[in-house]
Structure 1
Amino acid sequence: MGGSAMEWIVAQQNPLDSSPVESSQAAGSIPEIVIILIILLMIATVVALVTQRLRIPYVTGLVLAGLPITEVFSRRIGLDPSLVLNLFLPILIFEAAINTDISRLRSTFKPIALLAGPGSIVSSAIIAAIVKYGLGLNWIPALLIGIILANTDTVSMIAVFKEIRVPSRLSTIVEGETLFNDAAALVSYNLILVVYTTGSLTIVDGIKELLIVALGGGLVGAILGYLSLPIFTRLNDPLSSLLLTVALALGTFQIGQFLGVSGAVAVVIAGLIFGNLGLPRSSSASDRMSLLSFWEYAGFGVNTFIFLLIGIEINPIMLWKILPAILLVILAYQLGRILSVYLLLAGLRWFDRPIPMQWQHILVLGNIKGSLSMALAVAIPLSLTGRDFIIELVFGGVLFSLVIQGLALPSLVKRLNISPVSDAMQETGQLQIQLIAAKAAQEELDSLLKSGVLPKAIYEELWASYQARVAQSERVLRDLYNQYRAGQLKSDRSGLDTIRRQLLLAEKGAVRYALRKRIVPEDLVQPYIKDLDEKLLSLEDD
């Protein structure tokens, strides 16, 4: 497969390794590369306008736009696996991790762990078995296909969730699954390649290798994440803070890979630590917003190039020639997802809040493949028999999921109507937003007054204007709460239940902390925690 435009740029940055003639040729190619990048950006802009007008997923539009321009450029451009794994993937993982609330992740950890752990294993096994016996492949190629296509890319799902309101628990499960699913896929993929290169691997050695790679990656991420915190708190310049986070994301991945552990797991842990322990330490709300906005733009830009390059990489004519085999692969990964979701989540009710069946339908249809699947396929060793056939099978499955499932997902979410919004809920949400924003502005005013930036007279005037907004919002919210207590808003429990869940989780964390410090006896703590768990299970899904 061909390299990418970015790969050529890297290749041109070693003039000492080439002759003067080669150097001049390299210098002459730079404008062409810049022109290609500009054209790709213009195509992405047009796609954004068209998809907004047609109300279809942006990433689906990018893939479709990339299909007809494969042979347009004089240079061969495509999705380079090294670029994806070493640059794009750490950026996407870190951006998702710093925006993930650990408290919410903890409250939904059981379904996330089921889907990203046993779920991916079951799905990979089902896909591998169907592909092996249906297409007559050996176990190594079949297992690689299973691992690659069991991985889910939820960019399309998250994009739909931004337009259509869904319960926050479902959104957290989707984000958490893809966060840990990428890491699990990379670990399993590398393990299969170890089996391929060494010729054998016992079950005990395999488990030991998995634990070393996964736990070692978590340890590396935790160390680097915590080391970044004191540096971040001493940086008063937001631009320097941005550089620190970029170095943390990319450096953590490279250090993890260098040490022989999972770089993806390391980035996940480092991002969670920095996002939940580092960002709150920033003294300025504007600095925090600048940092989060930067990573939002970085994630959006990376996804734009990835999905456009996916479309350019795929050759529809080649896929048409092996259409029956691709249809079997599509059937295999859909069946693997169906069984892993419905069977595993059916047993969730025994130890956690059950997942509604409507949510499970969305999790199944949201089984969309993306950049990591294609990068792993292209990264398969050249010596593996049938490598090109495997790549074409994976590309066919990715194209189907991005186009067919990507287009069907928004209509399914709307049709299921999993989060109906009443007028009272709409009003409550708007008031909560106003209250949160006004309180945050008052806190910023206090900070400006203490720093001497703002005169007290202006401070008092501005503070009073925000206080009037706070008082009005609090009064209306109190009236709505009284109506709820009187039984007039029985269908609108979810907003208040969200607040109750936060309070109960805070109680649970405080009690467990007291137990760890040996402040309270364990025989009294366990019944109290059990009672808190029962109250949490009784709350409606948020």
Structure 2
Amino acid sequence: MNVAELVTVSIILLLVATCVALLTRWLRVPYVAGLVLAGLAITELLPRPIGLNDSLILNLFLPILVFEAAINTDLSRLRSTIKPIALLAGPGIVISSGITAALLKWELGLNWTAVLLAGVILAITDTVSVIAVFKEVAVPPRLSTIVEGESLFNDGVALVLFSLIVKIHDVGSLTILSGLQELFVVIVGGTLVGLAVGYLSTSLFVRSDEPLSTILLTLAVALGAFKIGQSFSVSGVVAVVVAGLIVGSIGLSSQISASTRLTLLSFWESISFGVNSFIFLLIGIEVDLLTLWRTLPAVLLAIVAYQVGRILCVYPLLAILRWFDRPIPWRWQHVLFLGNIKGSLSMGLALSIPATVTGREQIIAIVFGTVLLSLLGQGVSLPWIVKRLRLSQFSESRQQVEELQAQLITGKAAQDELDSLLKSGILPKAIYEEMRSAYQVRVAGAEKALRELYNRRPDEFDLKSDGHRKLEAIRRRLLLAEKGALNEAIRKQILSEEVVQQRLKNIDEQLLALEDD
């Protein structure tokens, strides 16, 4: 495709995406499902056929989407939900892939390499549709964190397993011990690359506290971590996840001005939205309805197979979780099962299956069909299901608490920015004092009202109320800060491990006792 045709196609896709965004908002249907349907409809409008490119998805789009999710992840809340996330994204994806592969092998009779690759591809969860629903329907923050965290690490583990199966296919055989060693090296190596890139970039963020240069730096970190990981034959996705978490928690610290942080996060939100829009439009364009109709029985079988795998992954593993962490409510587990929607990464991996794998074309057709039906079936029905489950009640007390918190957060942020302007010499002290005092009135009022809410007598304050939950969330963050300080003291050899261990145990017990739901 030449440049002129590329520009024409881009204009058509942008106009279609804009119309779909407006129409889906009016009809109150999921945006991604609308994009896929639009892609099916506009194929004839394009000057020539286009399609998904697996190299473009895996080397450009995937690092951008993963990095955007990572920098927006609250590390303290992620730490508090790491156990369910680790179960679902670790053993969970292995169990789900194995069950899906076994069912496909039994029914379709394909070779083991093909069905194992299909099992891994269909075990991937695409979080875009689910998080879009969460923005419309209020859900508990802990559930949202589990969904985002699972998807974040699920992608990395799936790509590692996919690469390992392809390597076994190319080599001819691989022992279990060698396979586990390879898996360990790839994941740990990706983590080390992400740590190195993330920490090396944090000092540059402070020195280049300017929006445009910071945007360029984050792009370099996202794409650079991925390419460096690949060049060392380790997981590029794991490297991007770790680097993104470090940049989001340390690089974008309070040392960066509020305007720079806002510009940067707005940029990544916009670029992620644009990339997803193009991907889901291209999914609709890529699917051949005639081919889909011919392979429909196999597609329906694949949907049943991966749903069975998901059931046997979510419910048993989260039942085991009760032994060493706070249990996950049944209604939350239903969302984790029903939110098992497929997306762009599944299609990109399907296209990247080596041509030497027997049954490659059949697997590609099946994956494309399952992605389409998943987006149109589960994607459209999920908002209605989440509402019916009534996961979170937005009561008047909760609204009151959040309005006061918003007043407190914005007032404090404005005061911090005024301090920065005074320190840099931009703002005269007289004007600074006048403006800061106005914000202090707002802050003091919010603090007083919140203190009254949090200090109500037990007989006036329902232990399951929204105010209590907010206070529990704050206590959780404080305990995590204490735990982090103790671990840092051990690392710097300020305190001995023997002295700290009992304190860490007490903090862990307090964390388990809290109900940050």
Residues 1:42 and 2:15 are matched in the alignment? yes
Cα distance between partner residues in 1 of 2:389 and 2:295: 35
Partner of 2:488: 513
Within 5 A, what are the aligned runs for 1:308-327?
A: 308-327=281-300
Shift of 1:521: 5.0
Shift of 1:380: 1.0
Within 5 A, what are the aligned runs for 1:65-80?
A: 65-80=38-53
Partner of 1:356: 329
Within 5 A, what are the aligned runs for 1:174-185?
A: 174-185=147-158
Shift of 1:518: 4.7
Query: Is this contact kept in 2: 1:229–1:274, CA < 8 A?
Result: yes
Query: Is this contact kept in 2: 1:439–1:470, CA < 8 A?
Result: yes
Partner of 2:512: 537
Range moving further from structure 2, 520-529 or 81-90: 520-529
2:515 is matched by which residue type in structure 1?
E
**Root-mean-square deviation (Å):** 1.5
Partner of 2:244: 271
2:18 is matched by which residue type in structure 1?
T
SS at match of 1:280: coil
Deviations 1:451-494 (A, max 9, x none): 11112222122112111111211121122123254433433121
Shift of 1:163: 1.5
Cα distance between partner residues in 2 of 1:39 and 1:385: 37
Query: Is this contact kept in 2: 1:484–1:490, CA < 8 A?
Result: no
2:173 to 200, 206, 211: 200
SS at match of 2:17: helix
Cα distance between partner residues in 2 of 1:71 and 1:383: 33
Within 5 A, what are the aligned runs for 1:229-240?
A: 229-240=202-213
Cα distance between partner residues in 2 of 1:202 and 1:244: 42
Cα distance between partner residues in 2 of 1:528 and 1:263: 37
Shift of 1:528: 3.0
Within 5 A, what are the aligned runs for 1:458-473?
A: 458-473=431-446
- Seen in structure 2, the aligned counterparts of structure 1 residues 53 and 458 have a Cα distance that, compared at 3 Å, is same
SS at match of 2:265: helix
1:86 is matched by which residue type in structure 2?
N
2:501 is matched by which residue type in structure 1?
Q
Partner of 1:64: 37
Cα distance between partner residues in 1 of 2:498 and 2:187: 34
Deviations 1:153-179 (A, max 9, x none): 010111111121111111111111111
Residues 1:501 and 2:476 are matched in the alignment? yes
1:97 to 38, 53, 70: 70
1:454 to 427, 441, 466: 427
Deviations 1:246-290 (A, max 9, x none): 111112111211221111111111111111111115431101111
Partner of 1:24: none
SS at match of 1:248: helix
Cα distance between partner residues in 1 of 2:321 and 2:113: 32
Q: State how many pairs are aligned.
A: 515
Partner of 1:14: none
Query: Is this contact kept in 2: 1:483–1:489, CA < 8 A?
Result: no
Within 5 A, what are the aligned runs for 1:245-256?
A: 245-256=218-229
Partner of 2:369: 396
Partner of 1:141: 114
Residues 1:118 and 2:91 are matched in the alignment? yes
The normalised TM-score by structure 1 is 0.92
Query: Is this contact kept in 1: 2:68–2:269, CA < 8 A?
Result: yes
Cα distance between partner residues in 2 of 1:498 and 1:419: 15
Cα distance between partner residues in 1 of 2:440 and 2:88: 46
Query: Is this contact kept in 1: 2:9–2:47, CA < 8 A?
Result: no
1:465 is matched by which residue type in structure 2?
A
- Seen in structure 2, the aligned counterparts of structure 1 residues 512 and 258 have a Cα distance that, compared at 3 Å, is closer
1:48 is matched by which residue type in structure 2?
A
Shift of 1:523: 4.6
Query: Is this contact kept in 1: 2:52–2:348, CA < 8 A?
Result: yes
Residues 1:478 and 2:451 are matched in the alignment? yes
Query: Is this contact kept in 1: 2:40–2:285, CA < 8 A?
Result: yes
1:509 is matched by which residue type in structure 2?
G
Cα distance between partner residues in 2 of 1:159 and 1:397: 20
SS at match of 1:261: coil
Partner of 2:414: 441
Shift of 1:519: 4.4
Query: Is this contact kept in 2: 1:282–1:288, CA < 8 A?
Result: no
Cα distance between partner residues in 2 of 1:374 and 1:115: 21
Deviations 1:222-242 (A, max 9, x none): 111122122222214321111
Range moving further from structure 2, 208-217 or 352-361: 208-217
Query: Is this contact kept in 2: 1:233–1:281, CA < 8 A?
Result: no
The normalised TM-score by structure 2 is 0.97
SS at match of 1:488: coil
Cα distance between partner residues in 1 of 2:457 and 2:335: 30
Cα distance between partner residues in 1 of 2:501 and 2:457: 32
Cα distance between partner residues in 1 of 2:43 and 2:255: 46
Shift of 1:527: 3.4
Deviations 1:413-432 (A, max 9, x none): 11111111221111001100
Q: Please list every run of 5 or more consecutive structure 1 residues that lacks an aligned counterpart in the other structure.
A: 1-7, 9-28
SS at match of 2:271: helix
Partner of 1:132: 105
Query: Is this contact kept in 1: 2:116–2:165, CA < 8 A?
Result: yes
Cα distance between partner residues in 1 of 2:279 and 2:273: 10
Range moving further from structure 2, 524-533 or 408-417: 524-533
- Seen in structure 2, the aligned counterparts of structure 1 residues 120 and 220 have a Cα distance that, compared at 3 Å, is same
- Seen in structure 2, the aligned counterparts of structure 1 residues 255 and 519 have a Cα distance that, compared at 3 Å, is closer
1:511 is matched by which residue type in structure 2?
L
1:332 to 305, 309, 331: 305
Cα distance between partner residues in 2 of 1:220 and 1:61: 38
